[in-house]
Amino acid sequence: MAGSTKEHLLTRITAKGGDYAHHHFTQAQDGILKTFFDLVHEYDTLEDYYTICVLTLKQSMDVECRLYLNDQHGDLKLVRASDLDESFPVTAPSHIQVQHETIDLDGSLFFPVYMGPLRTNEQVPVGILQVTPGQPLSEQEQFFISIYANRIGITLNDKVSACQNIQHIKFVQGLVTDIEHNVIIPNMYFRHLFKKLRHNIDVMGELKDAILSQQEDLGVADNKSCREIVAKVAALHDSFLSHHNELEKHHASSSLFIESLFRKDHFDRGELVLRPKKCFVEQEIIDPQLEHFANRFKHHNIVVRRPADMRDEEIALNVDIGLLAQVYANLFSNALKYASVSEGSVDNVKLVAYGREYVSDCFGEGRGGVKFNVFSTGPHLSPAEAQFVFDEGFRCDNAGFQSGKGHGLAFTRQVVEIHGGRVSYEPVAGGNNFCFYLPLAVDET
């Protein structure tokens, strides 16, 4: 009922009160339901839950109870019995079948169990509550047990979901431990390998220089074959050095993302947890991401325009470098996908630009902030697209065959908001400006 109006909820409360008044339960029966609900919330496991379902009724009404439920394959299983002490579940006898209505068979009453709070005509029971009384039950008692079976279905839905969530959390916690042990720690070893590789590349360069210096002494300075070999060695050295530098930068970026995304704190708290520090935003956050995208921007003929006044500026912000780096990675990735030549452009180029400006009172009186932006040329978003562009799963009409799931900008908003900031989109002359505001420290505005 998420999102229901106050009037609707008041109507349901009144209707529920009328339903309970109509039931005319005895004080003892009200006590049975209260005992059942209290114990259901007191114990966590499904095994205890099944036991509570049958023993509460047995203890209070002196009846034997058996609870049957469909397993994941649709086979009916006996999951608990008040008159049996054995390992459960066990396969139900062939004559026990799920029915839509209460039936009387061989001295036992079989009440259908429907999972969830709402019952529809199309809904199929998920199990049966078998009740075997020592003496015949009145119609009122049978009606009460049918309501009790209904409450089993309602609480079963919640209990299964809760147990699944607990299992999910345990799995995630174990996975985080595995990631830390098998990914993050081994990933650090790459730094050692890069150092060894760089040492060998430097040795190759020294050998190249040694050969060049000894050409005259060896009398092969004018030898064509020798010159070709030296040229190939020099080219190979330059190629290795270039690839090494690119790999090292890519590894540094990937390591930063791995560290910031797979922190144990995130999983323990169930939300992103910041590790803020002051930094040079352009040097430590933006530059590494631009280098990561440089070859792709060049391949797509996209010109990157940098600000002239930002590089050596330690802005008065406390930010999580790893998470904010991913904000810029998402914005640059979108610019790479969607930048195009703007209609009427004089330069006739695809352009990406970034920058920042200080904005006073943007977080309230006396509370200034910094507006960061990433601009790219291209057609503006429609008003409807601009309204939802930062929502999870939303993709604009111009997405076409571009890869993506509409998560990047939603993640951007999440990171900015946990920094105490906000995101925004602006249609500006020649293109689109995606920006975010972060608050300055109160004593440094």
Q: If pLDDT is split at 50, 70 and 90, which confidence band does 12 have?
A: low
CATH for the stretch 281-444:
3.30.565.10
Does residue 2 have a pLDDT over 60? no
Residue 181 has pLDDT above 90, yes or no: no
Q: Which H or E run contains 438?
A: strand 431-439
Residue 366 has pLDDT above 60, yes or no: yes
- Average pLDDT for 249-271: 83
Amino acid at 144: F
Check residue 104 and give its pLDDT: 92
Q: 10 Å Cβ neighbour count for 350?
A: 22
Per the prediction, the chain carries an average pLDDT of 85
Tens digit of each residue's pLDDT (9 = 90 or more) over 328-347: 999 999 999 999 987 655 56
Long-range contacts of 415-423 (CB under 8 A, 24+ apart): 415/272, 415/320, 415/323, 415/324, 415/326, 415/327, 416/327, 418/271, 418/272, 418/274, 419/274, 419/276, 419/319, 419/320, 419/324, 420/363, 421/369, 423/390
Lowest mean pLDDT among 65-74, 145-154, 169-178, 314-323: 169-178
Average pLDDT over residues 255-277: 85
pTM for the structure as a whole: 0.63
**Least trusted range by pLDDT, from 142-156, 236-250, 366-380, 422-436:** 236-250
pLDDT of residue 325: 93
Instruction: Read off the pLDDT of residues 387-413 as tens digits, 9 standing for 90 and up.
Output: 999 998 877 766 555 555 678 899 999
Per-residue confidence (pLDDT) for residue 1, from 0 to 100: 39
Distance, in Å, from the CA atom of 29 to the CA atom of 25, rounded to the nearest integer, reads 6
Write down the architecture of domain 23-166 according to CATH: 2-Layer Sandwich (3.30)
Backbone angles phi, psi at 266, to 5 degrees: -60, -45
